[in-house]
Amino acid sequence: MSIEVGKVIDNKTISVLFPASVAQDRGNLMYLDSYTPKKAALRTDIGSEAGNQADFAPLFLGVCGETRLAADGTTLRGVVHTDVIVDADCSSRAWTFGELVGVARDSTNSVNYNQQVALATHPAQAIGICVQDTAGVAKTKVRCRLTSKRAWSLADLTPGFGASQLAGTAGTLAAGADTTLTVASAVIQVGIPTADRKVILPAPAISKGLMFVIVNNSAGDFDLNVRDSGDTTTIQSVVQNKRAIFLCDGTTWFGLLGA
């Protein structure tokens, strides 16, 4: 499996210090961990591809442009491509220009692939976009533009809450059952519950910067109880004809009840 950096069409690069005694292959997807560049497989597994994508995307540094051996026992400076068009491995599928691309997860070994991407369903999960339509033909390579989330200007690094989501069309909460939201769920979620229902938020570790607006349009005296990802604590009960905003700082969800 590989990302063919040798076929780069265009790129921007930065120079970083790679850790000593850590093997690194050209083409690895890199993330920044407390100012240390690391390959994707070293990131702690969340348990699902969507979760791993949402966890990895905000930390994405770029594509490694250097190969080094674990036997290289000193810290060495190397190149990382921060805005690059590459041909990357993927599971066989037909790609459409503009589709989102995220890191792929090896479900057998419960780890991110270092040099494989997969379809992402939401900007919060994406590290790039497909830039070549396969005209309905399934391919195991996708030409994509990958863009660092950690090598932007200072202004781009401080977009504010909710900036990793797109407003789009409001989502609809289940009327007759509980609803579990994901990082790909729409910002606005409207419910017309037929009884008290739970709305379970994504794990804070993969939700930094996300925001949800929960609207309760119930015709009866029924609540939407918004809970943490473990379904153990109600953060805020949104009662009939009320709405609330929920924000995440990466550690905790906070709820603000409105009119």
Q: What are 207-255's pLDDT values in tens digits?
A: 888 899 999 999 999 999 999 998 899 999 999 999 999 999 888 999 9
Spatial strand order of the sheet with 171-172 comes to 171-172, 188-191, 211-216, 243-248, 253-257
Regarding predicted confidence, which is higher, 114 or 121?
114
Q: Please report, rounded to a whole number, the percentage of residues in the chain having pLDDT higher than 70.
A: 88
Which of 12-21, 84-93, 116-125, 158-167 has the lowest average pLDDT?
A: 158-167
- Which of helix, strand or coil describes residue 59? helix
Cβ–Cβ < 8 Å for 40, 112: yes
Class of domain 171-257: mainly beta
DSSP category for residue 24: B
Task: Tell me the two tokens of residue 153.
Answer: 């200007």
Give the Cα-Cα-Cα angle 105, 107, 108 (nearest 5 degrees): 130
Question: What's at 203, amino acid-wise?
Answer: A
SS3 41: helix
Protein fold of 3-147: Virus Head Decoration Protein; Chain: A, (2.40.300)
pLDDT at res. 156: 52
pLDDT exceeds 90 at position 4:
no
Q: What per-residue confidence (pLDDT) applies to 13?
A: 86
pLDDT at residue 163 in the model? 47
Question: How would residue 206 be classed by pLDDT, with cut points 50, 70 and 90?
Answer: confident
| Predicted TM-score of the model (pTM) | 0.73
Residue 69 contacts residue 112 (beta carbons within 8 Å) = no
pLDDT band at 74 (very low <50, low <70, confident <90, very high): confident
Write down the H helix ranges in the chain: 49-56
Tokens 């609809």 identify what position? Answer: 172
Domain limits of the chain?
3-147, 171-257
Q: Residue 161's pLDDT is what? A: 46
- Please name the amino acid found at residue 63: V
| pLDDT tens digits, 124-168 | 889 999 999 999 999 999 999 999 988 765 445 444 444 445 545
pLDDT at 11: 66
| pLDDT the model gives residue 154 | 47
Q: What local confidence, expressed as pLDDT, does residue 106 receive? A: 96
Helices (H) and strands (E) in the chain, counts: 1, 19
Distance CA 55, CA 103 (A): 10
Structure tokens at 218: 């119930």
Quote the CA–CA distance of 116 and 90 in Å, as a whole number.
6
